[in-house]
Structure 1
Amino acid sequence: MKSTAEKASELERAMMELVYQSRLTEMKIKQLAEEMIDFKDEMRASKKEMDKKWGELAKKMGTLIEDIFIPSLDLTIEKYFNVTPYDVMPRRKVRKNGKSKTMEIDILALADNQAFVVEVKASPNRLEYVYDFIEKLQTIPDFIPEIKNYKVIPIYAALDMEESTINLLTKNNIYAMILRGDILEIVNFKDLS
């Protein structure tokens, strides 16, 4: 049988071991909490970087789409409208009243007395894009007065678009141009001619 002193000593050792384990656990929890804070900060930075990359990709996608349409646009205009553009201006940006108002036109092509205003979209089936283009068409003469005497011919272009978008464009007298294979086609030309 153990004496009271031995029992007290064992109890004291057990208590010290418990205190040690408790402090060790506390330190590990603190370390884990710090790692979690660092991880959250890294994730925020990573998300911010990813958002930036997505923005750059979306912008690049828009210019990529324009780059697909520009080389064949004059041939397409010639095929459908029997005129050859003498000036094709990609990414035309016009400022009005200094810098307070700006307008961007993806492609502006001039031929005889016609101004072909081409809006190119990577995601053409968003209705607000169509309505934004309709609104833009109404203000073009204010931004580009040199084409006031030109007949403005609006063309909404994309790699492909839904029938409902084409119908909306046709209803608003806007040509719908898509890429079929490696040929640009105005799919509602007969409906608007």
Structure 2
Amino acid sequence: MAAQPAQNERIDRLEEALMEMAYQSRKTEMELAHLSREMLEFKGEMRVFKDEMREFKDEMLAFKEEMLAFKEESQASRRVMDRQWGEFKDEMLAFKEESQASRRVMDRQWGNLANRLGTLVEDIVAPGVPDAIMQAFGFDVTEVSVRRRRKVDGRVREYDVIAVAAGRVFLIDVKSTYRREYLAEFDSALAEFPLFFPEYQPAAAVAVVASLNLSSEIIDLATARGWLALQLSGGYLEFVNSDQITL
């Protein structure tokens, strides 16, 4: 009878062992199933990743080809720009040389014109003086002389135009461009006129500043001195301040 409980105890332990084995087997199956699902999911993710990597690789290859094409296009554009810049520099150099040559010619022409302009102005003024005096004052001009130059006591004076009319001597100072500083020079020449040309005494001297075009400042300054101002107007010489000067 004592052997019976021991046998039952062994049977119980065997059943527990079998149950534990069955539990562990089931647990292992569940873990394997879970691992299998995870592996399937991982394989799916890897497949997607491989596809994405393949697309990325294709995009990178296309980008590389675009960059290569851009580089080649940039190099071609750079060559064109370098050529155009070289041509532009050559053109600018030629233009500079041409401009310098033109300027030398222009300077020479202006120099020639400046040398002739004094005579040219007198050639215009002197012939027109008789008509201008007649129109402004009704005087008949009996004598006109140009560039009257005389030396007295080692000093020389020259008067551009001298016109005689109605007992008056019109002393005309002609300048291509009449500047303010010329007024003082003419004032000095007027004071010495009787010394250099006494034969015109006792005729009254009438001072006249003349140019093709006088500035309003020169006209006002001349008028303030009691001098006449003569300039070209409408193709004719005209005393522009004769209404303000009493002879």
Fold match (TM-score > 0.5): yes
Shift of 1:52: 8.6
Rounded Cα–Cα distance in structure 2 between residues aligned with 1:168 and 1:77:
21
How many percent of aligned residue pairs carry the same amino acid?
32
Give 1:120's aligned amino acid: V
Question: Which one of 126, 143, 151 corresponds to residue 87 of structure 1?
Answer: 143
Aligned to 1:190: 243
Work out which of the two has the higher radius of gyration on C-alpha atoms and give 1 or 2: 2
2: CA distance between counterparts of 1:173 and 1:135? 15
Corresponding residue number in structure 2 for 1:17: none
Alignment partner of 1:111 out of 143, 151, 165:
165
Question: Counterpart of 1:62 in structure 2: which amino acid?
Answer: G
Q: What's the offset of the Cα at 1:58? A: 2.3
RMSD: 2.1
| 1:55 shift after superposition | 5.6
Residue aligned with 2:147, SS: strand
Give the gaps of 5 or more residues in structure 2: 1-103
Report which of the two has the higher share of helix. Answer: 2
> CA–CA distance in 2 between the matches of 1:52 and 1:140?
36
Shift of 1:111: 1.9
Deviation at 1:148, TM superposition (A): 2.1
CA 1:189–1:101: 2 relative to 1, 3 Å: same
Q: Counterparts in 2 of 1:46-125, with a 5 A limit?
A: 57-97=113-153, 100-124=154-178
Secondary structure of the corresponding residue to residue 149 of structure 1: coil
Tell me which amino acid in the other structure corresponds to 2:186. Answer: F
User: Aligned partner of 2:126: which letter?
Assistant: I
Indicate which of 143, 155, 169 corresponds to 2:208. Answer: 155
Within a 5 Å distance, the mapping from 1:13-24 to structure 2 comes to none
Q: How far does residue 81 in structure 1 lie from its aligned partner after superposition?
A: 2.2
Mapped to 1, the partners of 2:219 and 2:122 lie a distance apart of 19
Structure 1 outlier segments of 4+, above 3 Å: 50-57
Give the AA of the match of 2:150: V
1:142-178 CA deviation, whole Å, 9 max, x = no partner? 0000112001011111111111111100011110011
Cα deviation digits, residues 50-74 of structure 1 (max 9, x gap):
9997665423110101111111111
Structure with bigger strand share is: 1
**In structure 1, C-alpha distance between the alignment counterparts of 2:208 and 2:169, rounded to whole Å:** 10
Unaligned runs of 5+ in 1: 1-46
- Partners in 2 of 1:76 and 1:68 — Cα distance? 12
Aligned length: 143
Partners of 1:138 and 1:51 in 2: CA distance: 38
Q: Which has the higher contact order (CA 8 A, sep 6+)?
A: 1
Give 1:84 shift.
Answer: 1.2
